[in-house]
């Protein structure tokens, strides 16, 4: 499928990165790059009958985010990819596997094989498949797991070649590696990080750039020792210890959760569409439409 197209439907599959953690809204919910991208895609002008651009977005645009925080690649494959493939979207994003490779024990070859299963299934739907080399926060955790991540990313490149998928390389971005792009939990991007990811995917689709998503942040004075220690202690108390507790007890932050556009009661995904398609520009509100 050619880039710079007018997409009319978009399904996002994955884990917390795609769910939107930690681009936190005032009500405590998450938005994230996929929601931002959907809002912009929905706001693209539709062509009129005579070929000239209309000033209003298409009322038929549909979006579904099936991603759930904490999900491993087996769960993404078993719970999300089937429903996503059945929706027949003309744009599908798949990001997964990092929750696996960041665990103490991991069979990276098996993770890569399961990711391939996901890509194979989603690609059969005929839409434009988008894969990503996920970003990493600069620091010791990234260095420890870098070999595993790069093995996973090499497999992603192979899958892209096989399926004609686009690869958005966020891993190579020095800007997204900047700790200031990350939330206090040091695992998830903040609002600015998600905004830049949305822009990166937008540009990968061949759409006109609104900003330089990879531009470095302005230089900043390093925090003082006391401030660093305070931040480290808060991180350990509020994020690291609970994360270790979940690992030791076999629990996940995604237990009991379903994707934003997945009905656990009905066991199926559903679409949302712009509430008001008469308002030009990015969409700010959505409504549920017929089940997929």
Q: Is the pLDDT of residue 239 over 80?
A: no
Instruction: Quote the pTM value.
Output: 0.87
CA distance 66 to 72: 14
DSSP state of 266: T
By the 8 A CB rule, do 285 and 276 touch? yes
CA distance 284 to 212: 23
Span 198-232, pLDDT tens digits: 999 999 999 999 999 999 999 887 777 776 677 66
Q: What is the DSSP string of 144-206?
A: HHHHHHHHHHHHHHHHHHHHT-EEEE-TT-HHHHSGGGB-TTSSSB-HHHHHHHHHHHHHHTT
Adjacent-strand bridge partners of 129: 92
Q: Does domain 9-215+258-291 have CATH number 3.40.50.1110?
A: yes
Q: How confident is the model at residue 291 (pLDDT cuts 50, 70, 90)?
A: low
pLDDT of residue 283: 83
- Going from N- to C-terminal start, the domains of the chain cover 9-215+258-291
CA distance 122 to 70: 21
pLDDT of residue 43: 85
Q: Which two tokens stand for residue 16?
A: 């917390």
Q: Which two tokens stand for residue 242?
A: 């609970």
CA distance 81 to 219: 41
Span 179-193, pLDDT tens digits: 999 988 888 999 999
% of the chain at pLDDT higher than 70: 82
């Amino acid at each position: 499928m050619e880039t710079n197209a007018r997409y009319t439907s978009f399904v996002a599959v994955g884990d917390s990165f795609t769910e939107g953690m930690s681009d936190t809204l005032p009500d405590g919910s998450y938005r994230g790059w996929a929601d931002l991208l959907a809002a912009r895609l929905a706001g693209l002008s539709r062509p009129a009958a005579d070929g000239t651009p209309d000033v209003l977005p298409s009322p038929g645009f549909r979006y579904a985010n099936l991603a759930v925080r904490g999900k491993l690649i087996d769960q993404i494959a078993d719970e999300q990819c089937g429903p996503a493939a059945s929706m027949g979207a003309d744009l599908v994003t798949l990001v997964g596997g990092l929750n696996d490779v960041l665990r103490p024990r991991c069979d990276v070859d098996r993770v890569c094989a399961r990711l391939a299963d996901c890509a194979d299934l989603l690609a059969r739907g005929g839409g434009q498949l988008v894969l990503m080399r996920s970003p990493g926060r600069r620091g010791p955790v990234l260095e420890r797991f870098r070999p595993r991540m790069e093995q996973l990313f090499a497999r992603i490149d192979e899958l892209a070649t096989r399926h004609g998928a686009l690869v958005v390389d966020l891993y190579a971005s020095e800007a997204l590696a900047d700790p200031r792009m990350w939330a206090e939990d040091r695992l998830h991007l903040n609002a600015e990080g998600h905004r830049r990811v949305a822009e990166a995917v937008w540009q990968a689709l061949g759409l006109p750039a609104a900003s330089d998503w990879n531009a470095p942040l302005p230089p900043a004075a390093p925090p003082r020792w006391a401030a660093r220690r305070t931040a480290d202690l808060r991180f350990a108390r509020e994020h690291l210890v609970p994360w270790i507790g979940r690992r030791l007890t076999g629990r996940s932050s995604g237990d009991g959760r379903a994707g934003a556009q997945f009905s656990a009661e009905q066991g199926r995904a559903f679409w949302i569409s712009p509430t008001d398609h008469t308002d030009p520009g990015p969409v700010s509100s959505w409504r549920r439409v017929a089940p997929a």
